[in-house]
């Protein structure tokens, strides 16, 4: 760990890293409010974003991954609301600024640790080589940058989760749950028809173009259309986006039951009820998938084994597909995933970025045969390598299915197959980090859901990709 002594002046003034960070933060906030009061919002936002970037980088220097994660989750939760309130599109870059520091922290861990397996290093090198080839093969530079970011977000978060120790995850858990509950409680106002922040306020800031309202009061994605044409109004929480909000609440629900013994059962049930309310009121299909796996996978795997879980999940998935395929654009989500696999099978080295995805039409002006699937973007870009990666992650998630870590890994891959929103930091940031722990400490020993003894995994199938050691 980087000691705060490194930040003391040579003259022995005794300024700790925490003191310096507090001073910078205070000055930055003062500057922000002064410029805001003066009416120059653009300058105020430059100051504020600089403050966020400096703070996150300071956390990297001080080796504070928990602080870094909390800042990332907070920025992701609030950035759309802040953008709508202050009418500034730069607010949507807040979590990206913190993500850069998260990536730097991950790199620092890889450089410092001596217990990282060689196969992990080889895989990462091959991955970035294939991504570089996909970038060169892209149909358009704009779409290449956009989709490369979409792929790198989950990768960075998974690697971050792999580097965390169990003790660090336990410290992070209350913050994740608290932010999830705050977001869910906001949805209660929306159900009453009260929108403290206008969800249409940020729609024109998106890189893929403004969100259409189709003549209604709310953006189009606030409505869920049934086969008979009836539209249900969904809640978007503080994320101001129903599909993202449902996944956000579903992921927070997983964190509640990651280590339930640290709270009373009454507290766990109360927190779960609030998060279930948020997820259900959003009517997010991705959120439903996460909730289903959080409830079913650990229970079925512990009671009946992995095969029973696979069979039950297959049946439920088939029935759900038949039931909802005509609602909204559910069929398009499934078609997008299948197209990604078909394209990858016929293009062994991939075809590069820009072949599929929701942003292709808006950023390139070209049509595409598939969208609504983050995995399809990866598969089309990476070819056979993409198929192997997805298959391996599902395998590891199922193998670790007795734990919530494993359920998170399975859920992350499945929602990535069925939704492009799965690449959003605000929607699934906490989910991808929890999924990463299934490849880190969670692959060796983890307290099962509900409690009791420590499971020792099969060393042949659950060898950790990164072994972590307790910090002193």
Q: 323 and 439 share a domain? A: yes
Name the pairing type of β-strands 231-233 and 223-225.
antiparallel
- Number of Cβ within 10 Å of residue 135's Cβ equals 16
pLDDT tens for each residue of 273-331: 999 999 999 988 899 999 999 999 999 999 888 888 888 888 887 666 655 555 556 66
Q: How many helices (H) and strands (E) does the chain have?
A: 17, 2
Q: 371 and 351 share a domain? A: yes
In the Cβ-directed half-sphere of 461, how many Cα atoms lie within 13 Å?
Answer: 13
Q: 76 and 129 share a domain? A: no
Task: Report d(CA 339, CA 337) in Å as an integer.
Answer: 5
Tokens read off for 161: 């989760």
CA 107 to chain centre: 19
- Domain limit, last residue, from 112, 130, 164: 112
Q: 122 and 200 share a domain? A: yes
Query: Is residue 64 in some structural domain?
Result: yes
Query: Is residue 472 in some structural domain?
Result: no
Q: 217 and 101 share a domain? A: no
442 or 199: which carries more pLDDT confidence?
199
Query: What is the total count of domains within the chain?
Result: 2
- Domain limit, last residue, from 75, 91, 112: 112
Query: Is residue 311 in some structural domain?
Result: yes
* DSSP-assigned states of every residue in 190-253: HHTT--SS-GGGSGGG-TT-PPP-TTSSS-GGGEEE-TTS-EEEPP-GGGT-HHHHHHHHHHHH
Query: Is residue 457 in some structural domain?
Result: no
pLDDT band at 468 (very low <50, low <70, confident <90, very high): very low
Task: Report d(CA 340, CA 381) in Å as an integer.
Answer: 9
Least confident of 3-12, 72-81, 94-103, 225-234: 3-12
Query: Is residue 97 in some structural domain?
Result: yes
Q: Note the pLDDT of residue 464.
A: 44
pLDDT tens for each residue of 186-198: 999 998 888 888 8
Q: 275 and 390 share a domain? A: yes
User: What is the number of residues in the chain?
Assistant: 472
For residue 452, the SS3 value is coil
Q: 50 and 126 share a domain? A: no
202 or 123: which carries more pLDDT confidence?
123
pLDDT tens for each residue of 1-12: 334 433 333 333
Q: Residue 469 above 50 pLDDT?
A: no
Q: What is the distance between the terminal CA atoms of the chain, rounded to a whole angstrom?
A: 8
Query: Is residue 414 in some structural domain?
Result: yes
Mean pLDDT along residues 349-358: 90
pLDDT band at 13 (very low <50, low <70, confident <90, very high): very low
Q: Residue 149 above 90 pLDDT?
A: yes
Pick from 352, 363, 356: which is nearest to 340 by CA?
356
CA 455 to chain centre: 27
Q: 136 and 78 share a domain? A: no
CA-derived radius of gyration, the chain: 22
Query: Is residue 422 in some structural domain?
Result: yes
Vertex 420: Cα angle to 139 and 315 (nearest 5):
130
Whole-angstrom CA distances from 288 to 90, 187, 311, 334, 414 are 31, 17, 19, 15, 11
Mean pLDDT along residues 352-360: 87
Task: Report d(CA 407, CA 301) in Å as an integer.
Answer: 10
97 or 212: which carries more pLDDT confidence?
97
pLDDT band at 333 (very low <50, low <70, confident <90, very high): confident
Q: Is 194 left (phi over 0), alpha (psi -120 to 50) or beta?
A: beta
Q: The domain containing residue 54 runs over which residues?
A: 1-112
Q: 108 and 129 share a domain? A: no
- Domain limit, last residue, from 112, 138, 154: 112
Query: Is residue 68 in some structural domain?
Result: yes
Q: 132 and 275 share a domain? A: yes
Helix, strand, coil share of the chain (percent; to 5): 70, 0, 30
Least confident of 92-101, 111-120, 213-222, 340-349: 213-222
Q: Which residues contact 94 (CB under 8 A, 6 or more apart)?
A: 49, 52, 75, 76, 78, 79, 82
Q: Residue 447 above 70 pLDDT?
A: no
Q: 93 and 215 share a domain? A: no
Q: 245 and 370 share a domain? A: yes
Q: Residue 21 above 60 pLDDT?
A: no
């Amino acid at each position: 760990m980087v000691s705060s002594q490194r930040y003391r002046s040579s003259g022995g003034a005794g300024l700790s890293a925490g003191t310096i960070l507090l001073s910078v933060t205070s000055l930055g906030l003062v500057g922000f409010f002064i410029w805001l009061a003066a009416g120059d919002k653009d300058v105020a936002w430059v100051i504020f974003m600089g403050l966020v970037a400096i703070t996150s980088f300071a956390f990297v220097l001080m080796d504070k991954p928990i602080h870094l994660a909390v800042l990332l989750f907070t920025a992701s939760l609030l950035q759309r609301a802040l953008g709508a309130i202050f009418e500034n599109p730069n607010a949507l870059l807040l979590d990206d600024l913190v993500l850069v520091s998260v990536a730097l922290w991950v790199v620092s861990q890889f450089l410092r640790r001596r217990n990282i397996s060689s196969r992990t290093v080889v895989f990462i090198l091959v991955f970035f080589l294939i991504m570089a080839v996909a970038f060169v093969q892209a149909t358009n530079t704009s779409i290449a940058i956009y989709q490369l970011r979409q792929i790198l977000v989950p990768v960075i978060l998974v690697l971050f989760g792999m580097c965390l120790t169990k003790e660090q995850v336990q410290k992070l858990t209350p913050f994740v749950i608290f932010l999830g509950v705050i977001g869910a409680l906001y949805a209660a106002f929306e159900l009453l028809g009260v929108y403290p922040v206008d969800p249409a306020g940020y729609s024109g800031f998106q890189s893929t173009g403004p969100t259409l309202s189709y003549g209604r009061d709310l953006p189009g994605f606030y409505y869920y259309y049934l086969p008979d044409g009836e539209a249900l109004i969904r809640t978007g929480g503080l994320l101001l986006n129903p599909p993202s909000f449902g996944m956000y609440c579903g992921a927070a629900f997983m964190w509640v039951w990651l280590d339930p013994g640290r709270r009373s059962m009454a507290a766990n049930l109360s927190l779960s009820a609030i998060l279930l309310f948020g997820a259900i009121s959003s009517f997010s299909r991705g959120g439903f998938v996460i909730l289903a796996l959080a409830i079913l996978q650990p229970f079925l795997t512990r009671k009946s084994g992995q095969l029973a879980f696979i069979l039950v999940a297959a049946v439920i998935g088939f029935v759900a597909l038949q039931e909802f395929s005509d609602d909204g654009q559910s069929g398009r989500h499934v078609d997008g995933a299948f197209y990604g696999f078909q394209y990858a099978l016929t293009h062994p080295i991939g075809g590069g970025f820009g072949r599929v995805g929701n942003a292709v039409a808006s950023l390139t002006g070209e049509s595409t045969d598939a969208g609504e699937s983050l995995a399809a973007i990866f598969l089309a870009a990476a070819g056979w390598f993409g198929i192997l990666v997805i298959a391996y992650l599902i395998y590891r998630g199922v193998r670790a299915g007795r734990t919530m870590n494993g359920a998170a890994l399975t859920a992350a891959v499945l929602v990535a197959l069925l939704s492009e929103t799965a690449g959003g930091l605000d929607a699934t940031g906490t989910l991808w980090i929890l999924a990463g722990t299934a490849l880190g400490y969670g692959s060796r020993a983890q307290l099962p859901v509900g409690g009791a003894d420590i499971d020792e995994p099969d060393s042949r199938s659950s060898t950790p990709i990164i072994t972590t050691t307790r910090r002193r």
